[in-house]
Every structure is written in C-alpha cells, then in structure tokens.
Amino acid sequence: MKQIFLVSFIFLIISGCANKEADKRAQLEQLKKEHDKLTETILKLEKELTPDNVVSSASVSVETIRKITFEHYIEVQGRIDGNQNIAVNPRNQGGMVTKILVHEGETVTKGQVLAELDAEVLRQQLIDLQNKLAFATDIYNRQKSLWDQQIGSEVQFLKAKNDVETIRNGIATLDEQIKMSVIASPINGTIEEIPIKVGQLTSPASPLPAFRIINFSTAKALADVGEAYSAKVNTGDQVKVFLPDLNQEFTEKVTFASKYINPTNRTFLVEAHLHQPNITFRANMIAVLRILDYTNPAAIAIQQSYIQNSRDDGQFVFVVAEENGKKIARKRSVTPRVSYNGLTEIVNGLSEGDKIITAGYKDLYNGQQIDY
C-alpha cells in the first residue's frame, strides 16, 4: 500500500514539472507573436511618417584618390658596430701578464704596447747565447788569423765560422720572441674592454680576448635578415637606419649582403656603413634597419582600414557615385598588392580621381544615399 502511494506521489511531481514547462513554452510563443506584431506596427508607422519624396541619407567623409609614391620596407632590428672591432691576443706565444699599460676608454695607436708578459726565461737564454757568441767569436777570430797564415785546417776555420753564425741566428730568434712577449695594438682605436688581469695567464687560444679595440672613425649597422628575403635584399639597396636611443634616422646604402645563410637561424648578414660624423656611436647600440625592397612612384594607395571583407563580395571599399543628381554609396571590389605602415597599394578597382568614403562606411549598404 505504501509503495503504491509513493509511486503516485512521484507521478504527480513529474506531471507538475511537465505542466510548468509546457506553460513556459506557451508563454514564449505568445511573446514572440506579440514581438512580431509590434515590429510590424513600428515599420508601418515609420513609413507613414516619412514622405515618399524624402530619403534619409548617411553622413560620411570622402577623400579624392591621388597617385602617390608607395614604398615597402623590410624592417629588422640590428646593432651598431665599429668598422674595426678587434679582439687582441698575444701573437705567437702566451704567458703570465706582468704589466697592463693602458686603461679602458684610452685612445691607442697602431703598434702601441698594451701589456707585457713574463719573458724572464727568454732573457736568461739570450744572455747565455750572448756569452756563447763572445766565446765563439774569439775562437773564430783565432782560427781566421791562423788560416790567413796558412796554418791549421780549413775544416776548423769553417766550423768556427759556422758556430758564430748559428749563435747569431739563435740570438735573433730570441730577440723576436722577446718582442712578441708584449701585446701590441694592431689598429688605431679606443680600448673598449680589458678582460685580463696582472698575474693571469693568456695565450693566442684564450677564449676571452686580452683587449678589445674599436675604431669608430667609420661605423656600420648590422642586422640578420630572414632567408625569405634573400632574393629581395642586395648590395646598393636603400636602407633607413633608425636609432631609438637617439631618436634619429638617416638614409644609407646596403654595403654588404651576405650570400651565406646561417643554418642555425636561417638568416643572412646585412651591413650598411654609416656616414654620420656628428653622431657618437656606441658598440652594440640598437638600430632598426628598414630596407627598401619595393617602390612605385605612381601608385594608388589607401589606408588599410578602408578595405572591408565579406564572404560574397570579397575585399571592397565604398566609393561615391553620382546617380540622378544624388550621391550614392557604391561597393567597389579592389585587389590589394602589398601593405606597409598602414597603407595598401591597390592594383585593380580604383583610379585616380575616384572619391572613396573614409569615415562612416561601416554602417553603409550598397546604394545608400549619402551626404558629405
């Protein structure tokens, strides 16, 4: 008996929920009918209040198209460097640094000694050879005197002469090695970096240079350009170099475009020598390079934002058409070529003298009357 009562109670709850859902659906349908009726009434009243000879027009802004010079640039971030940026190490031998004779920021000349290395062992060897040379020279002089008197053998005379020449050659070699126990500047420039310290060992194979010298008498801008532009960038191309830290821009020429693609990042190196004597450049200063890769001196170019897209019409703009003495907005399909800095070159669809709608075009429809 209890089970029958429980089942009946659950059935009543479900029936009540179903009835409530049905009521909501009926209410929704009624509201939709009322909405459609109100919309129909509103449209009827608007038509009655608007005379037949009055057509509402949209207010827009218009610009007449003129041909301009359109330029497209490849923009990459690079850096500034000296035309001579040299890492200096000992030439043919290493050793312990005993003296550093310059400081960072100092101007140096080619051949100037920058640091001295420990060469005490070489100097001791030189003293020994000089003593041996004195002894060998004395023996040679004695043998020569005897030989001049036809006394003694020729072999003894030639051996004494050879000993003198051998020792002299050894002394000359040691002299060169002692001269190379200093680190000298290979160029005129400025000391930018001195990683070494007194007492430190250095050699030609050291991973860090002993000195870094930069000559900024002629500076250059360098940048790594993507492989995709390898056919568009060549030596002699115009390049605009912008220095954001100095807020200055100037126009130069590409002086070097590498034919080597870096396999790691798929880029190639581009350089432009800078002829700006009044600018103080610094190594690794940020430089933005804008390389000219396309120009059209008589192009039809419009703001990129004027171009609209639709599934049916593709890319189009609104232009002004004169029809029956009225100004009408008409869609005009266009074919863009390339865009740069907010401008897009149009190769088909627009002509010089056309009036393009530049403001208010978002809410226009084809054939709508306009005023401006």
Q: Could you read off the pLDDT of 65-121 as tens digits, one per residue?
A: 999 999 999 999 999 988 788 889 888 777 888 889 999 889 899 989 999 888 878
Residue 23 sits in the same domain as residue 108: no
Please provide the DSSP assignment of 181-235 as one string.
Answer: TEEE-SSSEEEEE----TT-EE-TT-SS-SEEEEEEEEEEEEEEEEGGGTTT--T
144 is a domain residue:
yes
- Domain count of the fold of the chain: 3
Residue 48 sits in the same domain as residue 119: no
Q: What is the domain-level CATH number for residue 316?
A: 2.40.420.20
Residue 50 sits in the same domain as residue 107: no
215 is a domain residue:
no
CA 128, CA 139: separation in Å to the nearest integer? 17
Boundary (domain end) residue, out of 192, 216, 242: 192
- Residue 304 near residue 343, CB atoms below 8 Å: yes
| Structure tokens given for 370 | 């306009």
Cα separation values, 338 from 278, 296, 344, Å: 36, 11, 6
Residue 141 sits in the same domain as residue 102: yes
CA 115, CA 183: separation in Å to the nearest integer? 5
What are the tens digits of pLDDT across the range 282-304? Answer: 888 999 999 999 999 999 999 99
Residue 121 sits in the same domain as residue 50: no
Residue 117 sits in the same domain as residue 49: no
Residue 110 sits in the same domain as residue 179: yes
Residue 49 sits in the same domain as residue 62: no
Residue 62 sits in the same domain as residue 99: no
Residue 63 sits in the same domain as residue 37: no
164 is a domain residue:
yes
CA 240, CA 76: separation in Å to the nearest integer? 11
Each residue's pLDDT, cut to its tens digit, for the chain (372 residues) gives 444 444 454 444 445 554 566 677 777 667 766 765 675 565 456 545 554 444 467 888 999 999 999 999 999 999 998 878 888 988 877 788 888 999 988 989 998 999 988 887 888 888 888 888 888 888 888 888 877 788 778 888 888 888 889 989 888 888 877 877 888 999 888 898 899 899 888 888 888 888 999 888 788 999 999 999 999 999 999 999 999 999 999 999 999 999 999 999 999 999 999 988 888 888 889 999 999 999 999 999 999 999 998 887 789 999 999 888 899 999 999 999 999 999 999 999 999 999 999 998 888 888 889 888
From the list 251, 343, 244, 237, the residue with the least C-alpha distance to 300 is: 343
Q: Are strands 326-333 and 301-303 parallel, antiparallel or unpaired?
A: unpaired
- The residue count of the chain comes to 372
162 is a domain residue:
yes
Write the DSSP symbol of residue 304: G
73 is a domain residue:
no
What is the pTM (predicted TM-score) of this model? 0.60
147: containing domain? 94-192
Element (H, E) at 320: strand 314-323
Boundary (domain end) residue, out of 150, 168, 192: 192
b/e per residue 261-286 (b: at least 16 CB within 10 A): eeeeeebbbbbbebeeeeeebbbebe
Residue 48 sits in the same domain as residue 62: no
